[in-house]
Amino acid sequence: MTDPAAPTGGPFLPLEETIILIGFMGAGKTTVAGILAEYFKRPSVDLDEAMEQELGLTIPDIFARKGEDYFRDWEERLLARFVCGPIPRILSAGGGAVEREPNRLLLAASRTYYLKAPAEALWSRLTPQDRACRPLARDREAFFGRFAKRENLYEVSGLAVDARDAPSAVAARITEHYLKADDFSLTAEGKTTFIRTFRPACSNFGELQKLTGRRKFFFLLDRIFRSEEENLKKQLPRAIICFPDQEGEEAKNLQQAEKILTLMAEAGLDRQDYLVARGGGSLTDLGAFCAGLYKRGLNLLLWPTTLLGAVDAAVGGKTAVNLAGAKNQVGHFYLPREVWLEPEVLASLPPALIAQGLVEALKTGLLFDQTLLELIRTRLELILKGDLPIILEVARRSAKAKAAAVEKDFREEKGLRDILNLGHTYGHAVESYYAPGVSHGRAVAFGLAVAAELSRQLAGLEPELAGEVQRLAFILAGAFPPAVPPGEVQKLLRFDKKIRGGQLKFVVLKDIGQPEVLSGIEPASVIKAAGAVSARFQK
């Protein structure tokens, strides 16, 4: 059998599972595990080292004093403990773990990679010190005999990855396979948006050139990328680069849009050219707004760099800028050609920015996906620390669920898309009143808590579930801002885009996955619920 360059096949398993590395002595399991742990921001565990700590003996001492069967019993016990434990890890298993059937069954059902290399290559890697501390590596003939006995067992227990290269290359192959994600799409009115996930082995700029061909492309970039401008021009000499004058929500105004549209016209862009918006949700909103207006629409690629942008703002085709101190008052519907999710960027965000994106993901989980909700509830600490695989799982689940909802009611004409505003009615009032001092995520977190309160009062949501939603929202907000003064709430709710015939619509939950849109909700009820939430969490 030819060693593959990268692992293939195998069932899909959730990305919050522990990754297990198996292979014979000298395959580099511990080194590769350390590289993966640093990249994925997960703890790394060497099964032999864990056993030494547990028993207070070195591996040679365990073999000498207790025998191999005793060692294998403990190996089986520890393997099950780590694989089935509550914290996902990067685990390097002992070379002989595959000799026991319970271990093989557990490995085959897990995210297991077999670091594969010929016996001669593995023997040559062992130093004299390695052979001294490895009881089964002291004799060359015994070494090759053990290898022959285990080779087929490795094959049936994990996905093979060529381990003859440097550990960094082996880790990159495993990462490529583990995080490989199929494209998915959103189709509305005869136009399709492809949502794609990019890996580090893929050159995004190279993909951009393939996508655009010989067309021009106009980069609208977040100001944090100013330091990359020179390098970007070298890689993409035909690109026109623009940075907004302001940041975040402050950049979403008609004056900024006019500046961008003017620069696009001066650059001579036509409808076959591209606007590429790379930044947070506010910037992708602004870019999409301009792309849909310019010559009635040119090609658009959204490249969100925040979790908030990836799970919500870049998916759905709604574009808008702010007006008269209220959010998203001027806008239209326009689908991008592609949306690019970049997990490394999302996982590198500070906890506060990850939390903002999780607010929208929490909303999506409550509406459509209980698995997503459970991920946030049970893995919150890991997500906030930047666990890359789980963040990717959250981003993709959220974007996919929203895309499916948007397809059913793209222009909000059937009332089906209204449910996506769960938490946003009061949240937008908070954001507008405190602008720019309270972020979108923090404002919507407060809005979700208020929606949970009204859901309990008006839709029969179980009090325990309402309290859990409020607790999660409070954690993600860091702390709720003070409630908006009643008079200001009355004024700001008049700008809500869900008002029909002068009646305010408010999204509530009867249960997880059971939203309801209530018409004719009085602002006084919203104000009272906000006051109750504020009082409860300021104690």
What are the CA-CA distances from residue 310 to residues 285, 347, 351, 429, 438 (Å)?
12, 12, 16, 23, 20
CATH superfamily of 19-178: P-loop containing nucleotide triphosphate hydrolases (3.40.50.300)
Which residue type occupies 90? I
What integer pLDDT is reported at residue 2 of this predicted model?
A: 35
What integer pLDDT is reported at residue 11 of this predicted model?
A: 42
| Cβ 528 vs Cβ 456: under 8 Å | no
The per-type count for the chain, helices as H runs and strands as E runs, is 24, 16
DSSP H/E element including 282: helix 281-293
What integer pLDDT is reported at residue 14 of this predicted model?
A: 67
What integer pLDDT is reported at residue 10 of this predicted model?
A: 43
User: Three-state secondary structure along 462-482?
Assistant: CHHHHHHHHHHHHHHHCCCCC
Distance CA 495, CA 517 (A): 18
- List where CATH 3.40.50.300 sits in the chain: 19-178
Distance CA 424, CA 445 (A): 9
Fold of 422-537: Dehydroquinate synthase-like, alpha domain (1.20.1090)
What integer pLDDT is reported at residue 514 of this predicted model?
A: 96
- List where CATH 3.40.50.1970 sits in the chain: 184-403
| Cβ 33 vs Cβ 44: under 8 Å | yes
What integer pLDDT is reported at residue 3 of this predicted model?
A: 38
What integer pLDDT is reported at residue 83 of this predicted model?
A: 92
- List where CATH 1.20.1090.10 sits in the chain: 422-537
Question: At residue 375, what are phi and psi to the nearest 5 degrees?
Answer: -60, -45
What are the CA-CA distances from residue 22 to residues 89, 113, 117 (Å)?
14, 6, 12
What integer pLDDT is reported at residue 136 of this predicted model?
A: 67
What integer pLDDT is reported at residue 473 of this predicted model?
A: 97
Distance CA 451, CA 448 (A): 5
Q: Which CATH number fits domain 184-403: 3.30.465.10, 3.20.20.70, 3.40.50.300, 3.40.50.1970?
A: 3.40.50.1970
Residues of the chain short of pLDDT 70, as ranges, are 1-14, 130-133, 135-137, 199-204, 496-502, 539
Distance CA 275, CA 256 (A): 15
Give the bridge partners for 508, in sequence order.
516
Nearest-5° Cα angle at 214, 212 to 217: 55
Distance CA 392, CA 15 (A): 8
Q: CA-based Rg of the chain, rounded to a whole angstrom?
A: 27
Residue 297 backbone zone (phi > 0: left; psi -120 to 50: alpha; other: beta): left
What integer pLDDT is reported at residue 526 of this predicted model?
A: 94
What are the CA-CA distances from residue 23 to residues 15, 51, 91, 282 (Å)?
22, 18, 12, 47
Segment 440-493, tens digit of pLDDT = 999 999 999 999 999 999 999 999 999 999 999 999 999 999 999 999 998 888
What integer pLDDT is reported at residue 1 of this predicted model?
A: 31
Per-residue buried b or exposed e for 489-522, using 16+ beta carbons within 10 Å of the residue's own CB: bebbbebbbbeeeeebbbbbbeebeebebbeebe
